[in-house]
Chains A and B, each alone.
Chain A
Amino acid sequence: MSTDAGTRTTAPTSGRIGDSPLRPDGTLKVTGEFAYASDLWHDDMVWGVTLRSPHPHARIRGIDVTEALAVPGVSAVLTADDVPGENAVGLEHADQPVLASEFVRYEGEPVALVAADHPDTARRAAKRIRVDYEVLPAVTDPRRAMDDDAPPVHRPGNLVRHLHLQRGDQAATAPVVVSLDLEVGMQDQAFLGPESGLAVPAEDGGVDLYVATQWLHVDQRQMCLALGMPPEKVRLHLAGVGGAFGGREDLSVHVHACLLALRTRKPVKMSYGREESFFGHVHRHPAWLTYEFGAERDGTLVYARARLLFDGGAYASSTAAVVGNGGTLGLGPYRIPNVTVDAYGVFTNNPPCGAMRGFGCVQAAFAHEALMDELADTVGVDRVAIRQLNGMREGDLNITGQVIDSAAPVAELLEIVSGLPMPPERSADPDLRSLPGAVGNTTHGEGVVRGVGYAVTYKNIGFSEGFDDYSTARVRLEMTGGEAVATVHTAAAEVGQGLITVEQQICRTELGVERVVVHPKNTAVGSGGSTSASRQTYVTGGAVKAACEAVRAVVLDRAALRLGRDAAELRLDGEKIVGASGEVLAGLAEVLGADAVEETREYRHRPTHAIDPVTGQGDAHVQFAFSAHRAVVDVDVELGLVKVVALDTAQDVGKAINPDAVVGQIHGGSAQGMGLALMEEIVVTDGHVRNPSFTDYLIPTILDMPPMQVQVLEYADPHAPYGVRGVGEPPTISSGPAVAAAVRAACGKALRRVPIRPEHITGT
Chain B
Amino acid sequence: MRITTTVNGTVHEVDDVWPGESLLYVLRERMGLPGSKNACEQGECGSCTVYLDGEPVCSCLVAAGQAIGREVTTVEGLAGDGGLHPVQEAFVEAGAVQCGFCTPGLLVAAHDLLERVPDPSDLEIREALAGNLCRCTGYEKILDAVRLAAARQAQS
- Which residues of A approach B to under 8 Å, CB–CB? 20, 22-23, 25-27, 29-36, 38-39, 41, 118, 120, 189-194, 240-245, 271, 273-274, 431, 433-434, 439, 495-498, 660-661, 663-664, 667-672, 693-695, 699-703, 705, 707-708
B99 touching A694, Cβ below 8 Å: no
Q: Which B69-114 residues have C-beta < 8 A from chain A?
A: 74-76, 78-79, 84, 88-89, 91-93, 95, 97-104, 107
- In the bound complex, what is the Cα–Cα distance between A25 and B98 (angstroms)? 9
- In the bound complex, what is the Cα–Cα distance between A663 and B45 (angstroms)? 24
A241 touching B44, Cβ below 8 Å: no
- In the bound complex, what is the Cα–Cα distance between A189 and B101 (angstroms)? 14
A439 touching B92, Cβ below 8 Å: no
B39 touching A274, Cβ below 8 Å: yes
Contacts of B104 in A (CB 8 A): 30, 32
B135 touching A30, Cβ below 8 Å: no
Contacts of B123 in A (CB 8 A): 431, 433-434
- In the bound complex, what is the Cα–Cα distance between A256 and B113 (angstroms)? 42
- In the bound complex, what is the Cα–Cα distance between A672 and B20 (angstroms)? 35
A30 touching B101, Cβ below 8 Å: no
**How many residues does chain B have at the interface if contact means C-beta atoms less than 8 Å apart?**
58
B136 within 8 A of A: yes
- In the bound complex, what is the Cα–Cα distance between A434 and B98 (angstroms)? 27
Contacts of A433 in B (CB 8 A): 123, 126-127
- In the bound complex, what is the Cα–Cα distance between A39 and B31 (angstroms)? 12
B101 touching A36, Cβ below 8 Å: yes
The one of A27, A38, A193, A693 that contacts B92, using a Cβ cutoff of 8 Å? A27
- Which residues of B approach A to under 8 Å, CB–CB? 18, 20, 28-29, 33-42, 44-45, 47, 74-76, 78-79, 84, 88-89, 91-93, 95, 97-104, 107, 122-123, 125-127, 129-143
B101 touching A192, Cβ below 8 Å: yes
A699 touching B139, Cβ below 8 Å: no
- In the bound complex, what is the Cα–Cα distance between A705 and B76 (angstroms)? 29
A496 touching B139, Cβ below 8 Å: no
- In the bound complex, what is the Cα–Cα distance between A39 and B137 (angstroms)? 22
A670 touching B138, Cβ below 8 Å: yes
A243 touching B135, Cβ below 8 Å: yes
The one of B38, B91, B122, B135 that contacts A194, using a Cβ cutoff of 8 Å? B38
Can you report 28 residue pairs joining A to B where beta carbons are below 8 Å apart? A22-B92, A25-B100, A27-B92, A29-B100, A29-B103, A36-B101, A190-B135, A192-B102, A193-B39, A243-B101, A243-B135, A244-B99, A271-B38, A273-B41, A496-B100, A496-B101, A497-B98, A664-B95, A664-B137, A668-B98, A694-B39, A694-B40, A695-B42, A699-B135, A700-B138, A700-B139, A701-B131, A705-B138
B92 touching A496, Cβ below 8 Å: no
- B21's closest neighbor in chain A, by CB? A120
A32 touching B135, Cβ below 8 Å: no
B42 touching A193, Cβ below 8 Å: no
Q: A30-B91, A661-B95 are in contact. List 17 more A-B contacts (CB 8 A).
A: A26-B100, A38-B34, A38-B38, A193-B101, A243-B136, A274-B39, A498-B98, A668-B136, A671-B138, A694-B39, A695-B42, A695-B44, A701-B139, A702-B129, A702-B143, A705-B140, A708-B138
Supposing A22-B93, A41-B29, A702-B129 touch, asked if A192 and B135 sit within 8 A by C-beta, the answer is yes
Which 7 pairs show the lowest CB-CB distances between chains A and B? A32-B35, A496-B99, A242-B101, A667-B138, A29-B100, A671-B138, A694-B44
A192 touching B37, Cβ below 8 Å: yes
The one of A26, A33, A192, A672 that contacts B47, using a Cβ cutoff of 8 Å? A192
- B101's closest neighbor in chain A, by CB? A242
B95 touching A660, Cβ below 8 Å: yes
- In the bound complex, what is the Cα–Cα distance between A190 and B134 (angstroms)? 10
Contacts of A669 in B (CB 8 A): 138
B99 touching A191, Cβ below 8 Å: yes
- In the bound complex, what is the Cα–Cα distance between A690 and B40 (angstroms)? 16
Contacts of B37 in A (CB 8 A): 36, 38, 192-193, 242
The one of A29, A439, A693 that contacts B44, using a Cβ cutoff of 8 Å? A693
Taking the closest CB of chain B, its distance from the CB of A80, in whole angstroms, is 29
Contacts of A190 in B (CB 8 A): 135
B99 touching A33, Cβ below 8 Å: no
Taking the closest CB of chain B, its distance from the CB of A739, in whole angstroms, is 13
Contacts of B18 in A (CB 8 A): 118, 120
A23 touching B92, Cβ below 8 Å: yes
Contacts of B29 in A (CB 8 A): 41
- In the bound complex, what is the Cα–Cα distance between A390 and B39 (angstroms)? 44
Taking the closest CB of chain A, its distance from the CB of B123, in whole angstroms, is 5
Contacts of A668 in B (CB 8 A): 98, 135-138
Contacts of A41 in B (CB 8 A): 29, 34
- B133's closest neighbor in chain A, by CB? A699
B129 touching A23, Cβ below 8 Å: no
- B141's closest neighbor in chain A, by CB? A664
Contacts of B103 in A (CB 8 A): 29-30
- In the bound complex, what is the Cα–Cα distance between A57 and B145 (angstroms)? 49
Supposing A31-B84, A434-B123 touch, asked if A667 and B137 sit within 8 A by C-beta, the answer is yes
Contacts of A495 in B (CB 8 A): 99
B99 touching A192, Cβ below 8 Å: yes
Contacts of A670 in B (CB 8 A): 138
- In the bound complex, what is the Cα–Cα distance between A29 and B129 (angstroms)? 18
A26 touching B45, Cβ below 8 Å: no
- In the bound complex, what is the Cα–Cα distance between A498 and B93 (angstroms)? 14
- In the bound complex, what is the Cα–Cα distance between A695 and B33 (angstroms)? 26
Contacts of A189 in B (CB 8 A): 135
